[in-house]
């Protein structure tokens, strides 16, 4: 009886040792994979950053983040494999988890998808002045995967979900480099041709008004109440507000000094694109 108990104990101890060795080996491999994955993520990030150095910074940042995430996923799969978890079980678990997460984070995923599209299509870049849905207006400070940061003209930083920008009408007022300032001036019964010559000679020397495209001034309507002109100087996009303000003031003061006060204040068109060029 004692001999039998000894043999049983020996077999049990051997099984325990073998099991401990197997578990220990798996844990060591898993630990090694964790360490290697950490270094691999840094290495892949450096390689990706260097490989895409000529690419626009926002797109490069997104590619680096995507490469890091992919490396982490591969490392996680290797880690679970080292612990003996079967790939089929892993796929099933990840699929169920992905479905649950997807249903819970529909809005977040839509912002992510919109961020990818914004980075790919690039309707605007960092530094551009944009006007978007819900009154969003300002200079783009950063473009992220889920949201975009905009600094308003009064220096307030706001965060806009990417889907809001991608799914709505978006104006990029600095993308083309130049802008046309459209001013509507009611000159009453003042002679048309001399007034046009006066306005052009007044606006063209302005230091922020461009020589090309040329400033234009033409009649848009004539009625018993008087004549209405469009005065259209061009400027750099960044100087738009300044040129608009200074030219308005200059026109008003000059016309009054010349003995004529226009019946209508110079004003910015509500929609300049509806007017004929």
Residues 6+ away with beta carbon under 8 Å from 184? 220, 228, 229, 230, 264, 266, 267, 269
* Domain CATH for 154: 2.30.30.60
Together in a domain, 167 and 183 = no
Together in a domain, 152 and 182 = no
Q: Is residue 50 part of a domain?
A: yes
For residues 232 and 256, the model is more confident at: 232
Segment 84-142, tens digit of pLDDT: 766 566 666 666 666 555 555 556 667 777 777 777 778 888 889 998 888 888 999 98
Q: Is residue 119 part of a domain?
A: no
Q: Is residue 114 part of a domain?
A: no
Together in a domain, 132 and 201 = no
* pLDDT the model gives residue 207: 93
> Per mean pLDDT, which range of 30-34, 191-195, 249-253, 268-272 is the poorest?
268-272
Instruction: Name the pairing type of β-strands 147-151 and 137-143.
Output: antiparallel
Segment 136-184, tens digit of pLDDT: 889 999 887 788 899 998 899 999 888 888 888 888 988 898 999 999 9
Q: Is residue 117 part of a domain?
A: no
Query: Which domain, by its residues, includes 245?
Result: 178-274
Together in a domain, 250 and 195 = yes
What is the pLDDT confidence band of residue 268, given thresholds at 50, 70 and 90?
very low
Residues 6+ away with beta carbon under 8 Å from 156? 138
* pLDDT the model gives residue 156: 92
Together in a domain, 100 and 27 = yes
Average pLDDT, whole number, for the chain? 77
Q: Is residue 116 part of a domain?
A: no
User: Up-side HSE of residue 235: CA atoms within 13 Å toward CB?
Assistant: 22
Question: How many domains is the chain partitioned into structurally?
Answer: 3
């Amino acid at each position: 009886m004692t001999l039998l108990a000894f043999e049983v104990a020996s077999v049990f101890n051997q099984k325990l040792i073998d099991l401990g060795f197997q578990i220990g080996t798996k844990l060591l491999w898993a630990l090694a994979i964790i360490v290697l994955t950490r270094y691999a993520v840094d290495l892949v990030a450096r390689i990706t950053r260097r490989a895409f150095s000529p690419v626009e910074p926002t797109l490069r940042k997104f590619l680096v983040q995507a490469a890091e995430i992919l490396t982490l996923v591969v490392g996680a799969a290797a880690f679970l494999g080292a612990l003996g978890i079967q790939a089929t079980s892993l796929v099933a678990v990840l699929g169920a988890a992905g479905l649950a997460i997807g249903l819970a984070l529909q809005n977040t995923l839509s912002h992510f998808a919109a961020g990818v599209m914004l980075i790919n299509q690039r309707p605007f870049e960092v530094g551009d002045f944009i006007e978007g849905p819900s009154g969003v207006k300002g200079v783009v400070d950063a473009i992220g995967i889920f949201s975009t940061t905009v600094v308003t003209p009064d220096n307030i930083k706001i965060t806009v979900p990417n889907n809001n920008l991608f799914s709505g009408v978006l104006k990029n007022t600095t993308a083309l480099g130049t802008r046309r300032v459209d001013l509507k001036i009611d000159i009453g019964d003042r002679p048309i041709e001399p007034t046009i010559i006066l306005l052009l000679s007044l606006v063209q020397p302005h230091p922020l008004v461009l020589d090309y495209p040329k400033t234009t001034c033409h009649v848009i309507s004539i009625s018993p109440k008087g004549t209405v002109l469009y005065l259209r100087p061009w400027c750099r996009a960044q100087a738009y507000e300044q040129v608009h303000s200074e030219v308005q003031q200059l026109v008003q003061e000059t016309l009054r000094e010349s003995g004529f006060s226009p019946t209508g204040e110079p004003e910015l068109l509500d929609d300049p694109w509806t007017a004929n060029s």
